[in-house]
Amino acid sequence: MNAIVKLFVGLLLVVAGIAWYVYGSFVGVGSFWLAFQIVFFGVVGVAFLVIGLLIVWVELEEISDTIKMKKGKKKK
């Protein structure tokens, strides 16, 4: 996959992780599921944030390396 596409996917995951907490969840089931919901909703948002930030970081490094390599080839 292209680095720009992966960067975009990472940014989408970061936005999804933030939106998960800002807008909250709209799923409502019985009290039996309350403990599961708390853990699930807490973990999913953090996972989106962490995975998204990791993808963004890696892809920004790849893009900057590609730019440096292109500049290096032009100098030769």
| pTM over cut 0.85 | no
Containing domain of residue 44, as a range?
Answer: 3-75
Count of helix runs (H) and strand runs (E) in the chain: 2, 0
Counting the structural domains of the chain, the total is 1
Ramachandran area for residue 25 (φ above 0: left; ψ -120 to 50: alpha; else beta): beta
Answer yes or no: is pLDDT of 16 > 90: no
Kindly give, in sequence order, each residue whose CB lies less than 8 Å from that of residue 25, ignoring residues fewer than 6 positions away.
37, 41
Q: Dump pLDDT digits (tens) for 27-36.
A: 544 555 676 7
Residue type, 70: K
